[in-house]
Amino acid sequence: MASKAGMTPATYSPSPTTGKNKPPLFKEDSTRPDGRDFHQCRPAFLRTGAVNAASGSAYAEFGNTKVIVSVFGPRESKKAMMYSDTGRLNCNVSYTTFATPVRGEGSDHKEYSSMLHKALEGAIILESFPKTTVDVFALVLQSSGSDLPVVISCASLALADAGILMYDLVASVSVSCLGKNLVIDPISEEENSQDGSLMITCMPSRHEITQLTVTGECSTSKIKEGMQLCLDACAKLANVMRSCLKESSSDAHGLDNESS
Amino acid sequence: MKLKFRMYSVVGMVGLSLGEQHFIQGGIAQDLRCDGRKRLTYRPIHVETGVIPQANGSARIRIGATEVIASVKAELGKPSLSQPDKGKVFIYIDCSSTAEPAFEGRGGEELSAELSTALHCCLLGAKSGAGAGIDRTSLVVEGKICWDLYIDGLVVSSDGNLLDALGAAIKAALSNTGIPSVKVTAGAASDEQPEVDISDEEFLQFDTSGVPVIITLTKVGREYIVDATPEEESQMSSAISISVNKKGHICGITKRGGAGLDPSVILDMVSVAQYVSGKLMNKLDSEIASAEAEDES
């Protein structure tokens, strides 16, 4: 059994919804609600081969955010689509109804599908599968902050598991501005009260950013600092992803050796 | 290996021959684009406000041949539970099939969703409302009632640079918006719907000094251009849309288009956008002011 990349919290207990009085912003002594440092990411648990029927799949748990991604393809494109000498990428991100504390709130995030598409299309070598389509389906099982970055990282792991040719693994991290502080990998309480956010998707080995989204008013120096934080975190995350892939492929190799 | 991506596949456009592609790329490298502009020059911008009488505010903007119409309608509603001290703003973009035959039916849906998301990100800022272009706390009438602003953008004619045109049109429409003043009758029980009296006469002008402009920088080869035409957009490797407000602060950045970019390039594009935004903001403000003056006369 492959060892986990980091410790995951033991149990998940839903936070009781308070009625009128919201607790004040939690920054009493500059610690975050889950005890992390400002510049510390959540421990990541990554596993490929979660779905048997898919060409490739991956499951990721970053703290309480749990995502599963399946990749199907390359499959024949629908007849209605035009001939194309490069491959096509079709992405879909959906939330389960129980993913958010309030049932059904996940349908607010319809734009995540196109953002996932933009993040991945720069990394996949589309010319390697002409006339066919690769489908990436992401399902957010539990949403607890920083959903889209986790979906993107998990999707690139699933694509690697499916054997789709890529320029590099895609890692994604987001940073939240809370007052004057930049906190990395925010959880949903921090996201709801943030003053600004910066999400970066990059290919660490090529040192290229495939997607960048900044919301809220930020000065250029904050953007620079945020970008630097994210790029460092992405590089570390990509190493974790790579070691996960190595373990799963050496597992498969080990099993083959045993059976033969 | 050269990666060429299209921001959106425009089926109606005739493909470019290799010679034309080299001409566009070479021209941009030498600071002379196909229509004679410099890299950082916009096409002429025409603004008309008050084009839709039934809406609370509206504007029509033409940048070159790109034409968009934005309308703002305000309706009374209840503030959301998670943010009781703010009104709500909804931005919808519709790409009409008069712009491109490919936009008929569901064809334009993907582009509309992408534009709506980018505008949301640039104009509405973070969830806590800080740093947003539109101040949502000014939309609250009283405790349980707030104004819901529905901002609708319509792309009538598409000739490149849709996002900038829509951002400018929304800015113009918001400065044209008049929100009727509301009197709430006191004494209603806390659970019941309070009675409101919407006056037809008095209007409050929306404060748009904080609304940013959106600048899309398209990277072709090693240079960046502003206000790209569809031919230039087809040659781009990637593009970044940056929204900058009057104080020169960045209010939102979205990267569009596929290829990867080095972080230093992105920071360089941000500073170029800040430089260009000063001129564009002044031009837009003067155009909007003259359009409003014409409207009143």
> What pLDDT was estimated at residue A200?
92
pLDDT band at B248 (very low <50, low <70, confident <90, very high): confident
Nearest residue in chain B measured CA to CA from A212: B255
CA B216 to chain CA mean position, Å: 11
Q: Are B276 and B40 in contact (CB under 8 A)?
A: yes
| A151 touches B: beta carbon within 8 Å | no
Residue B128 has a pLDDT of 61
Closest-CA distance of chain B to residue A165, Å: 15
**Alpha-carbon gap, residue A244 to B258, rounded angstroms:** 27
What confidence category does residue B8 fall into, taking pLDDT thresholds of 50, 70 and 90? very low
Average pLDDT over residues B216-239: 89
Flag if A122 and B259 touch (Cβ within 8 Å): yes
The pLDDT assigned to A236 comes to 92
Please give the Cα distance from A241 to A260 (Å, whole number): 29
CA distance B201 to chain A (A): 35
Instruction: Give the separation between CA B60 and CA B51, rounded to whole angstroms.
Output: 7
ipTM: 0.79
Q: Check CB contact under 8 Å for B260 and A191.
A: no
* E strands present in chain B: 45-49, 57-63, 66-77, 88-95, 140-142, 145-157, 178-184, 196-205, 213-220, 223-226, 238-244, 250-256
Q: Tell me the pTM.
A: 0.83
Test A220 with B110 for CB contact under 8 angstroms: no
CA gap A46, A67 in Å, rounded: 10
* Short-list A226, A191, A148, A218, CA closest to B132: A218
CA distance linking residue A91 with residue A118, whole number of Å:
9
Residue B5: predicted pLDDT: 46
Angstrom distance (rounded) from CA B28 to CA B67? 24
Instruction: Count CB atoms within 10 A of the CB of residue B203.
Output: 14
- Give the contacts of A239 (CB within 8 A, at least 6 positions apart): none
What are the distances in angstroms from CA B50 to CA B25, B89, B169, B172, B217? 40, 20, 12, 10, 30
Q: Which residues contact B149 (CB under 8 A, 6 or more apart)?
A: B72, B73, B74, B87, B88, B89, B90, B134, B139
Question: What is chain A's alpha carbon radius of gyration, rounded to the nearest angstrom?
Answer: 19
Mutate to test the interface with A, among B90, B127, B272 (most CBs of A within 10 A): B127
pLDDT, tens digit, 9 for 90 and up, residues B41-82: 999 999 999 899 888 889 999 998 899 999 999 888 877 776
Restricting to A residues 172-211, those with a Cβ less than 8 Å away from any Cβ of B are 177, 191-197, 202-203, 206-211
Residue pairs spanning A and B at CB distance below 8 A: 119
Q: Mind listing the pLDDT tens digit for each residue in B192-212?
A: 566 666 666 656 676 677 788
pLDDT, tens only, A135-164? 999 999 999 888 999 999 999 999 999 999
CB atoms within 10 A of CB B286: 11
pLDDT tens digits for B88-111?
888 899 888 888 877 777 778 888
Per the CB < 8 Å rule, is B270 touching A223?
A: yes
Burial class (CB in 10 A: 0-12, 13-18, 19+), A224: middle
Q: pLDDT 10s per residue in chain A (260 long)?
A: 333 444 454 555 444 443 334 444 555 456 788 888 888 888 899 999 998 899 999 999 998 999 999 999 888 887 777 778 888 899 999 999 888 888 877 767 778 888 898 889 889 998 898 888 999 999 999 998 889 999 999 999 999 999 999 999 999 999 988 878 888 998 888 888 888 889 999 999 988 899 988 888 778 888 888 888 889 999 999 999 999 999 988 887 777 666 55
Which of B111, B253, B269 best probes binding to A when mutated, by most A CB atoms within 10 angstroms? B253
What does the alpha-carbon distance between residue A230 and residue A244 come to, in Å, rounded to a whole number?
21
Question: Which of these, A186, A206, A204, lies nearest to A196 by C-alpha position?
Answer: A186
Closest A-chain CA to B117: A111
Looking up tokens 């789709």 gives: A164
Residue type, A74: P
Closest chain B residue by Cα to residue A201:
B260
Which among A111, A210, A216 has CB closest to B117? A111
- Residues of chain B found within 8 Å of residue A190, distances taken between Cβ atoms: none
Residue with tokens 């799963």: A248
Residue A16: strand, helix, or coil: coil
Q: Which amino acid is at A174?
A: S
